[in-house]
């Protein structure tokens, strides 16, 4: 009964330009935007469920594709600026058009997506092709009428927020006031007004006077979903800082610092690297924060700064492999994390095209795989298991045969339903839980 739409589109130009680099649902879940390494944005739209075509219920189809960013060259530094889309964030919809922000390493752009499904016909002075009519042939007046046409989706760049960042932009976040947004790079966070492109305000600056003293960078940041004055940013040392913009213009001094003391029994050379937070997300309620570091996901209560309230092991079996992972750079992979709509389940990606979900209430977790082989029509995903030795069941994967080139870094959860979008390299998977389609 589950609709499924495998599109056997040949992918891969050998350059990896279509590796998906970000996935984001809009606020209703009707649209899903993906950005890729080649600077393109592809928007999917969910088919409205209708009785007439039961097989197409809830499917996502391509709605629009456009080139958001182009590669650039920084002449001053003689370096290329990648066109890869780092983040996409939807703006809350305020009229018939949809808007989203997309960013690469340096430039943020505001795109407006509009539909056109009618056009006027019957002009008096112009003919069908638009050429001026010979006035002598016009004998009567007519009122142009709107006639339906094939749906056309137009995407236009409305704002370009350039030259705001010296370092690489890693996150953007729209404020709940719907007027401002912030963009964060490795060392600074800027506040922009959506309508003003030639000015931005610096609200966090952790660049030391002497760059030799630099030991910590900003890795992610987000505005609080309800309080327009609060935002959080995470660092490469595993700390979170909650800042209040009312306190001062420059929020270098945090209001709250969330940091968990290191577990001495787990100390190793790589303790700092694996504690680096790769993603931070507020819960929908605004009460909690979710952070992802290399081996765990943690739920923090905003009211408790000393330690997270929940910690979930994503792939602890990698703890003994950290040196190899350091050598092949996998230890620097930045995994994202996501809440479900009711904040009861959290999800994050792992290697071998596995992704994990943790139910906060029942404390149960599941490992699923996003692969073409397991995504047959109407297939139900089978839970997977990684075995570390000892008893090994059929279909278990051993740690040594995990494919570390297949990593699921980007995941997104529908805001209200149990639908998830998983980006596996250059493939996009959308899974739906039809059994439990309502959030609990």
Partner 1 sequence: MSRGGRAAKLTLKYAPSPADAGGSRAEAGAGSWNVLFCRGGCAGPGSAAACAPRSRAPSDARKAAAPRYMLGKGGKRKFDEHEDGLEGKVVSPTDGPSKVSYTLQRQTIFNISLMKLYNHRPLTEPSLQKTVLINNMLRRIQEELKQEGSLRPMFVGASQPADPLSDNFREAQPAFSHLASPPLLPADLVSTMPLESCLTPASLLEDDTFCTSPAVQHDGPTKPPPPALQPVKDSFSSALDEIEELCPAPTSAEAVAAEPAAGDSKAQPSESNIHKPEGLLESRTAESKLMDPLPGNFEITASTGFLTDLTLDDILFADIDTSMYDFDPCTSATGAASKMAPVSADELLKTLAPYSSQPVTPNQPFKMDLTELDHIMEVLVGS
CB of 348 to partner 1, least distance (A): 13
- Reduce the secondary structure of 161-195 to three states and give it as a string: ECCCCCCCCCEEEECCCCCEEEEECCCEEEEEECC
Binds partner 1 by CB under 8 A, chosen from 82, 222, 279, 343: 82
**Using an 8 Å Cβ cutoff, are 205 and 253 in contact?**
no
H or E stretch at 322? helix 322-327
Of 322, 244, 310, 321, nearest in space to 276 by CA: 322
Of 157, 62, 59, 146, nearest in space to 107 by CA: 157
Tokens in use for 127? Answer: 């003919």
In this structure, are strands 279-282 and 98-103 parallel, antiparallel, or unpaired?
unpaired
Binds partner 1 by CB under 8 A, chosen from 51, 269, 306, 394: 269
Tokens in use for 334? Answer: 């930045």
Binds partner 1 by CB under 8 A, chosen from 113, 194, 350, 357: 357
Give the footprint of partner 1 on residues 368-427 (CB under 8 A). Answer: 368, 372, 375-381, 383, 385-390, 399-405, 418-420, 425-427
Residue 219 found at the interface with partner 1 (CB under 8 A): yes
CB of 122 to partner 1, least distance (A): 26
Residue 136 found at the interface with partner 1 (CB under 8 A): no
**168 to 197: interface string for partner 1, x by CB under 8 A:** x-----------------xx----------
Looking at the DSSP bridge assignments, the partners of residue 192 are 181, 200
By C-beta, is 215 or 248 nearer to partner 1? 215
Q: What's the farthest any 2 CA atoms get from each other in the chain? A: 93
Residue 47 found at the interface with partner 1 (CB under 8 A): no
By C-beta, is 180 or 221 nearer to partner 1? 221
Binds partner 1 by CB under 8 A, chosen from 15, 132, 135, 143: 15
Stretch that binds partner 1, among 88-96, 161-169, 250-258, 299-307 (CB under 8 A): 161-169
CB of 137 to partner 1, least distance (A): 34
Q: Give Cβ neighbours of residue 327 (< 8 Å, ≥ 6 apart).
A: none
Q: Give Cβ neighbours of residue 71 (< 8 Å, ≥ 6 apart).
A: 39, 80, 81, 82, 83
Give the footprint of partner 1 on residues 95-114 (CB under 8 A). Answer: 105
Tokens in use for 362? Answer: 């029942």
Stretch that binds partner 1, among 53-61, 194-202, 222-230, 284-292 (CB under 8 A): 53-61
Binders of partner 1: how many residues, by CB under 8 A? Answer: 126
């Amino acid at each position: 009964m589950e609709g499924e739409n495998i599109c056997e589109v040949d992918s891969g130009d050998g350059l990896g330009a279509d590796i998906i680099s970000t996935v984001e649902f809009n606020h209703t879940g009707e649209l899903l935007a993906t950005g890729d390494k080649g600077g393109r944005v592809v928007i999917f739209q969910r088919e409205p469920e209708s009785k007439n075509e039961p097989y197409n219920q809830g499917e996502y189809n391509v709605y629009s594709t456009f080139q958001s960013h182009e590669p650039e060259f920084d002449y001053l530094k003689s370096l290329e600026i990648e066109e890869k889309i780092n983040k996409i964030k939807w703006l809350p919809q305020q009229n018939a058009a949809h808007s989203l922000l997309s960013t690469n390493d340096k430039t943020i752009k505001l795109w407006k997506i509009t539909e056109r499904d009618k056009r006027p016909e019957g002009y008096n002075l112009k003919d069908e092709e638009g050429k001026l009519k010979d006035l002598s042939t016009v004998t009567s007046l007519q009122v142009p009428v709107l006639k339906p046409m094939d749906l056309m989706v137009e995407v236009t760049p409305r704002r370009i927020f350039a030259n705001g960042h010296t370092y690489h932009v890693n996150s953007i976040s729209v404020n709940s006031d719907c007027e401002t947004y912030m963009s964060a790079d490795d060392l600074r966070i800027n506040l922009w007004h959506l309508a003003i492109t030639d000015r931005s305000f610096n609200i966090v600056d952790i660049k030391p006077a002497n760059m030799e003293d630099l030991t910590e960078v900003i890795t992610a940041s987000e505005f609080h979903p309800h309080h327009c004055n609060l935002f959080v940013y995470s660092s490469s040392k595993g700390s979170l800082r909650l800042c209040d913009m009312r306190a001062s213009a420059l929020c270098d001094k945090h209001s709250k610092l969330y940091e968990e003391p290191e577990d001495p029994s787990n100390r190793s050379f790589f303790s700092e690297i694996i504690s680096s937070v790769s993603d931070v997300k507020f819960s929908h309620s605004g009460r909690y924060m979710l952070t992802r570091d290399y081996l765990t996901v943690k739920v923090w209560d905003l009211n408790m700064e000393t330690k997270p309230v929940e910690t979930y092991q994503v792939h602890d079996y990698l703890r003994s492999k950290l040196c190899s992972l350091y050598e092949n750079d996998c230890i620097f992979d930045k995994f994202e994390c996501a809440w479900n709509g009711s904040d009861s389940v959290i999800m994050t990606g792992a290697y071998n095209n596995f992704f994990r979900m943790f139910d906060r209430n029942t404390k149960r977790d599941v490992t699923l795989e996003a692969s073409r082989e397991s995504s047959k029509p109407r297939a139900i995903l089978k839970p997977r298991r990684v075995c570390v030795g000892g008893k090994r069941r059929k279909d278990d994967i051993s740690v040594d045969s995990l494919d570390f080139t297949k990593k699921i870094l980007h995941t997104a959860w529908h805001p209200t339903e149990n639908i998830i979008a998983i980006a596996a390299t250059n493939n996009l998977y959308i899974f739906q839980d039809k059994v439990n389609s309502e959030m609990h």
